[in-house]
Amino acid sequence: MSLLPPEDEGDDGIEVAWEDQQRINTFSKLNNRLSDIQDQLKGKQEEKEYYDDLETELELAYDDAKVLYKMGEAFFHLGLSEAKRQLRRDLKKYDGEIQTLEGKAGECERGMKELKVLL
Amino acid sequence: MSTTVASSSSGNKMQMEVNPRGIPRAPFVANVDDFVSGQNGSAEGIIKSFQETSAKYRYMEVSLQQRKKALSTKIPDIEQTLSVVLFLQRRRQKALGQPITEEEGGDEDGDDLDDLEDDDAGDKEGKEEPLKTLFELNDTLYAEAEVIETGEVGIWLGASTMLLYPLQEAADLLSSKLGAAKKSLGETIEDLEWLREQVTVMEVNFARVHNWDVKRRRDQKNSGAGAIAAAASKGDEEEEDEEDDE
């Protein structure tokens, strides 16, 4: 039934201290959290890039041009300056979100580094 | 023997520990010998109860994962709706010549954006133009519509119900819903992390008790009568165990 040779199976091999167990748990928790955050971050950054592209695009547009600006599921006909204002608002929102995510990711990495030393 | 009883009762105390949503912590087996003898010496029964506990944790995990998924589609939905409502509100205030109150209650953590000046600067132009939109009728099919701004919006509440709200109330409602959804998502993620930990602890427990059991049986076989005499005091369960051993 046992696959291990008997001498490897002694109590010392099996003993797991509660503290170590907790550290391992925390490490795996942080690792999971980090990959979760990185996924989110990637998505947000991609979306933000679209807005960045849009920003350069709008810089080139004529002053009296009408822009179809998407909010939610509908497009709105907006004047250029209004579109730019909305764009700035949206960009700011993304910047904020990305910053908080990056902060959280940094926290996870720091925690993992500390645990690596201990383990 | 009294020491083992004491340690196992402190183990029970650990079992009662719960996270903020009442999910209990898995008991950790620090010393298999003590633990098993504290539980009437039946490794079989312990393994079975471990498996049951693990199954419960897993069940919870699955249902929470579904909840997380539902919430993470719901939140962007609310965010988008809110941003449209805020947009309409700003437009409305401008059209009425009201000072623009950039409350932005719904904006993320309530940090007010500092584009107040921007709005004032652009106040003169584009005042009375009707708002034209392209809205989605179906996938890839859009229709043009002019929005008559009444200062009210209809919010789909679900259950085949849509209610008209004044813009301010709509914004308030949506931001409170958004906050609640975000909080709930945070809690769900916390619970999931907690559950993961408990599942790992249970797996470790299971493996250790199992290995301990295997080792004990082999020792019994090897050392013959002396060991059996010593183990006999532990009770009858071990004989049952041996039948199941394979």
Predicted local distance difference test score (pLDDT) of residue B93:
79
Phi and psi torsions of A77, nearest 5°: -80, 115
B151 domain residue, yes or no? no
Query: B163-211, pLDDT tens digit by residue?
Result: 888 888 888 998 999 999 999 999 999 889 888 888 888 888 888 888 8
Domain of residue B15 covers 1-122+168-246
B192 domain residue, yes or no? yes
- How many whole angstroms separate alpha carbon B28 and alpha carbon B205? 7
A7, A75, A91, A100: best to mutate for the B interface, most B CBs within 10 A: A75
B128 domain residue, yes or no? no
Q: What percent of chain B stands above pLDDT 90?
A: 11
Predicted local distance difference test score (pLDDT) of residue A10:
44
Contact A93 B107 (CB under 8 A): yes
Nearest CA in chain B to A77: B132
Nearest CA in chain A to B130: A77
Residue of B215, B245, B246 with shortest CB distance to A9: B215
What would the two tokens of residue B38 be?
């504290």
Q: Which of B1-15, B41-55, B103-117, B190-204 has the highest mean pLDDT?
A: B190-204
- How many whole angstroms separate alpha carbon B119 and alpha carbon B139? 34
Q: How far apart are the first and last CA of chain A?
A: 31
CB-based contact A90:A51 (threshold 8 Å): yes
Using only C-alpha atoms, what is the Rg of chain B? 32
Contact A88 B208 (CB under 8 A): no
Q: Is B143 on the interface with A (CB under 8 A)?
A: no
B9 domain residue, yes or no? yes
A18, A23, A25, A95: best to mutate for the B interface, most B CBs within 10 A: A25
B29 domain residue, yes or no? yes
Q: Label residue B24 by pLDDT band (50, 70, 90).
A: confident
Contact B214 A2 (CB under 8 A): yes
Please report, for residues B42, B89, B211, the alpha-carbon distance to residue B127 in angstroms, rounded to integers and kept in the order given: 81, 14, 78
B148 domain residue, yes or no? no
Is residue A79 predicted with pLDDT exceeding 90? no
Q: Which of A7-16, B31-40, B86-95, B96-105 has the highest mean pLDDT?
A: B86-95
Query: B127-150, pLDDT tens digit by residue?
Result: 456 778 888 888 888 888 887 778
Predicted local distance difference test score (pLDDT) of residue A98:
92
B residues 168-227 near A, CB within 8 Å? 189, 193, 196-197, 200-201, 204, 208, 211-212, 214-215, 218
Give the number of other CB atoms < 10 A from CB of residue B105: 17
Contact list, B107 vs chain A (CB under 8 Å): 93
CB-based contact B144:B133 (threshold 8 Å): yes
Q: Is A5 on the interface with B (CB under 8 A)?
A: no
Predicted local distance difference test score (pLDDT) of residue B216:
81
Looking at the structure of chain B, the number of domains it has is 1
Nearest CA of chain B to the CA of A25: how many Å?
Answer: 6
Query: Positive or negative CA dihedral for B181, B187, B190, B192?
Result: negative
Residue of A9, A75, A90 with shortest CB distance to B211: A9
The lowest-confidence range among B52-66, B117-131, B180-194, B207-221 is B117-131
What would the two tokens of residue B149 be?
């701004």
Query: A20-47, pLDDT tens digit by residue?
Result: 778 888 888 888 889 989 999 999 999 8
Contact list, B142 vs chain A (CB under 8 Å): 75
Predicted local distance difference test score (pLDDT) of residue B41:
60
B45 domain residue, yes or no? yes
Q: What average pLDDT does chain A have?
A: 80
A7 class by beta-carbon count within 10 Å (0-12 exposed, 13-18 middle, 19+ buried):
exposed
Domains of chain A: 18-113 (1.10.287.370)
B149 domain residue, yes or no? no
Q: Label residue B114 by pLDDT band (50, 70, 90).
A: very low
Q: Which helix (H) or strand (E) holds B14?
A: helix B2-15
Q: Label residue B106 by pLDDT band (50, 70, 90).
A: very low
